[in-house]
Amino acid sequence: MKAWVVGEPGPMASGPLALVERDVPEPGPDEVLVRVEACGVCRTDLHLAEGDLQPRRPLTTPGHQAVGRVVGTGQRVGVAWLRSTCGKCRYCARGMENLCPHSSYTGWDADGGFAEYLTAPADYVYALPDDVPAERLAPLLCAGIIGYRALARCDLPAGGRLGIYGFGASAHLTAQAAIAQGATVHAVTRSAASRALALELGAASAGDRPPEPLDSAILFAPVGDLVPPALEALDRGGTLAIAGIHLTDVPVLNYDRHLFQERTLRSVTANTRADGRAYLELALAHPPRVKIAPYAFDTAAQALTDLANDQVNGAAVLVIR
């Protein structure tokens, strides 16, 4: 089979991603072999390729938004970021398996979906419908699920004002979920195309800063310099949730301007399977508009380069079969 691997991590211009031929993997006990149809391209994949996220193994295949068919049964499934947990620690016991110290992740601890086949534990894949194109399902598996958890973590009140910083794959799905709940959404992004998309999807504003105090905010852009202004834009009692796995250093905060009046700063760490099931049930019952930027499988490096240069409007997806 063909697979993309991360060789020497570095800027995309240095060519960290290589297309290789490998044997089709053998599933282990309690695993399934999945023939991949499409795989979403996530900023986490870019962090891995460029070295912001340190590789845990050599020549790893990225990709954790894979849609495909189980070999032998033909069942359509999705393979997402969370690959396994121990099921025994205190975090797993209290329903917080996303914090399991023994958790493993698709496309980081094990080869992911930038390949024609991958394996995954059967208990960690999601059943998906046959009648929806694979490229439209793929972004739901991370962009959608992580956005869903971030929306919960930011404590958005009913009818509240939500700021979304960065407007890529996850943000454009999260904005739709928030608007459907009755929220007023303000998108903060530099990209003219992203601003247009945000307004098209129902955002009340899209620009350099929100025009009114916010009840809640989510930071999707991996830029620590945005944390102080995002906190300062919060109303009293507001919450900022940082949704990414990687963030550049946060500048010094001023207590009065950024945290006083019971403003809250929170991180978002992966997701639980319960998050995944809840979001997919919601998204399949009430399908969001998924803005797709399709890429042929052989152009995965270009997809990551475009993502690095903020040239992807919506969700990039590798179409494999």
- Per-residue pLDDT of 252-302, as tens digits, reads 999 999 999 999 999 999 999 999 999 999 999 999 999 999 999 999 999
Alpha carbon distance, N-terminus to C-terminus of the chain: 13
What is the spatial distance between Cα 284 and Cα 145, in angstroms, rounded to a whole number?
A: 12
The secondary structure of residue 139, as a DSSP letter, is: G
Instruction: Read off the DSSP letter of residue 140.
Output: G
Helix (H) or strand (E) holding 70: strand 66-70
* Contact of 124 with 272, CB cutoff 8 Å: no
Instruction: Tell me the residue type at 251.
Output: P
CA distances from 181 to 137, 172, 207, 293 (A): 22, 15, 22, 27
pLDDT in tens, 120-133: 999 999 999 999 99
Check if the beta carbon of residue 197 is closer than 8 Å to that of residue 164. Answer: no
Q: Identify the H or E element spanning 319.
A: strand 315-319
Q: How far apart are CA 27 and CA 10, in angstroms?
A: 31
Tell if the pTM clears 0.85, that is, is over it: yes
- Give residue 251's pLDDT: 98
Res 46: pLDDT:
97
Domains of the chain (ranges; CATH) run 2-141+291-319 (3.90.180.10), 144-267 (3.40.50.720)
Please state the separation of Cα 241 from the chain's center in Å: 14
pLDDT of residue 321: 84
Chunked in runs of 10, what are the mean pLDDT values of the chain (321 residues)?
97 97 97 98 96 94 98 98 98 97 98 98 98 97 97 98 96 96 97 96 97 98 97 98 96 97 98 97 94 97 96 95 84
